Amino acid sequence: MYISNTDQEKKEMLEKIGVKKFEDLISSVPKEFLNPKINLPAALSEIEISKKMRELSEKNKRLKSFVGAGVYDRYTPAAMKAILSRGEFLTAYTPYQPEASQGLLQTIYEYQSSMCALYDMDCSNASMYDGSTSFAEAVKACLRISGKNKILYSAAINPRYIETAKTYLANDPKYIFEEIPLSGGLTDEKYLAEKIDDSTACFAAANPNYFGLIENIEILNKTAKSKNILTICCADPFSLGALKTPGECGFDFAVGEGQSLGLPMSYGGPYLGIFTCRKEHIRQMPGRICGMTKDKDGKRGFVLTLQAREQHIRRDKAASNICSNQALCALGATIYCALLGPKGLKEACMINNSLAVKAAKELTSIKDVKLKYKAPFFNEFVLELPMKASELRKKVSEMFSIDPGLDLSHMGKDFENSLMVCLTETKNESDIFELKKSIEACL
Partner 1 sequence: MNDIMKFDNELSIEKSRTGKRGLHFNCPSCQANIPLEAARKSEPKLPQLSEFDAVRHFTRLSKYNFSVDTHFYPLGSCTMKYNPRINEEVSSLEGFTSLHPMSLDENSQGTLEIIYDAHQRLCELCGMDDATLWPVAGAHGEYTGILLAKKHFSVIGEERDEIIVPDSAHGTNPATASMAGFKTINIQSTPEGLLDIETLKKHLNSKTAVIMMTVPNTLGIFEKNIKTICELSHKNGTLVYMDGANLNALIGLIKPGDFGIDMMHLNMHKTFSTPHGGGGPGAGGILVKKKLSPYLPKPKVEKKDGKYFLNENLPLSIGRIKSHFGNTQVLLRAYAYLLKHGPKEFAEIAENAILNANYVKSALENLFPPYSKEYCMHECVLAPSKELADKGIKTLDIAKRLLDYGFHAPTVYFPLIVHEAIMIEPTETESKETLDSFIETMRKINEEALNNPEFVKNAPHTMPVKRLDEVLAARQPNIKW
Partner 2 sequence: MKPEEVKYTKTHEWIKIEGDIAVIGVSDHAQHQMGDIVFVDLPKIGDKKEKGKQACVVESVKSAFDIYSPVSGEVVEVNTKLSDEPALVNQSPLENGWLFKMKVSSADTSDLLDWNAYSEFANNEAH
Within residues 384-413, the interface with partner 1 by CB under 8 A covers 393-394, 397, 403, 406
- Alpha carbon distance 227, 229 (integer Å): 6
**With CB under 8 A as the contact rule, which of the stretches 196-204, 332-340, 365-373, 433-441 interacts with partner 1?**
332-340
Among positions 281-300, residues that touch partner 2 (CB under 8 A) are 283
Give the CA-trace dihedral at 242, 243, 246, 247, to 10 degrees: 40
Distance CA 260, CA 425 (A): 12
DSSP 5-19: --HHHHHHHHHHHT-
> Which of 172, 198, 367, 413 touches partner 1 by CB under 8 A?
172
* Contact residue for partner 2 among 49, 308, 323, 399 (CB under 8 A): 308
What separation in angstroms does the CA of 214 have from each of 158, 176, 252?
14, 27, 20
Q: Could you tell me the CA-to-CA distances from 134 to 99, 131, 185, 253, 410 in Å, in that order?
A: 29, 5, 24, 10, 23
How many residues are given for the chain?
443
**Under rule CB under 8 A, residue 289 binds partner 1:** yes
101 binds partner 1 (CB under 8 A): yes
Residue 89 found at the interface with partner 1 (CB under 8 A): yes
Among partner 1, partner 2, none, the one that 283 touches (CB under a kind-dependent 5 to 8 A) is partner 2
Query: Is 306 near partner 2 (CB under 8 A)?
Result: yes
The least CB distance from residue 289 to partner 2, in Å, is 13
Contact between 371 and partner 1 per CB under 8 A: no
Quick one: what does residue 443 bind among partner 2, partner 1, none, with the CB cut-off 5 to 8 Å set by partner type?
none
**Of these partners, partner 1, partner 2, none, which one is at the site of residue 13 (CB under 5 to 8 Å by kind)?**
partner 1
In angstroms, rounded to a whole number, what is the distance separating the alpha carbons of residues 322 and 329?
16
**378 binding partner (options partner 1, partner 2, none; Cβ < 5 to 8 Å by kind):** partner 1
Backbone angle region of 123, left / alpha / beta, with phi > 0 → left and psi within -120 to 50 → alpha? beta
User: Which position among 147, 198, 228, 315 is part of the footprint of partner 1 (CB under 8 A)?
Assistant: 315
The residues in 110-139 that bind partner 1, with binding defined as CB under 8 A, are 110, 112-114, 116-118, 120, 122-124, 126-127, 129-133
Residue list 310-349, contact with partner 2 (CB under 8 A)? 313-314, 317
Tell me the window of 3-11, 305-313, 343-351, 394-402 that interacts with partner 2 (CB under 8 A): 305-313
Contact 177, 151 (CB under 8 A): yes
Does residue 278 interact with partner 2 by CB under 8 A? no
| Cα distance between residue 276 and residue 201, in whole Å | 18
The whole-angstrom distance between residue 295's C-alpha and the CA centroid of its chain comes to 35
From the list 176, 324, 368, 412, which residue makes contact with partner 1 (rule: CB under 8 A)?
324
Q: For residue 198, state whether it binds partner 1 (rule: CB under 8 A).
A: no
> Which three-class secondary structure state does DSSP give residue 130?
coil
DSSP label of 155: T
CA pair distance 202, 199, nearest whole angstrom? 9
Chain positions 49 to 68 lying near partner 1, rule: CB under 8 A, are: 49-50, 52-54, 56-63, 65, 67
Q: What are phi and psi of 371, to 5 degrees?
A: -75, 135
Residue 331's closest CA among 136, 86, 108?
108
Torsion over CA of 48, 54, 57 and 61, rounded to 10 degrees?
-130
- Choosing among partner 2, partner 1, none, which partner's interface includes residue 357 (Cβ < 5 to 8 Å by kind)? partner 1
177 interface partner picked from partner 1, partner 2, none, CB below 5 to 8 A per type: none
Work out which of 184, 376, 386, 412 binds partner 1, going by CB under 8 A: 376
Binding site for partner 2 (CB under 8 A): 283, 306-308, 313-314, 317
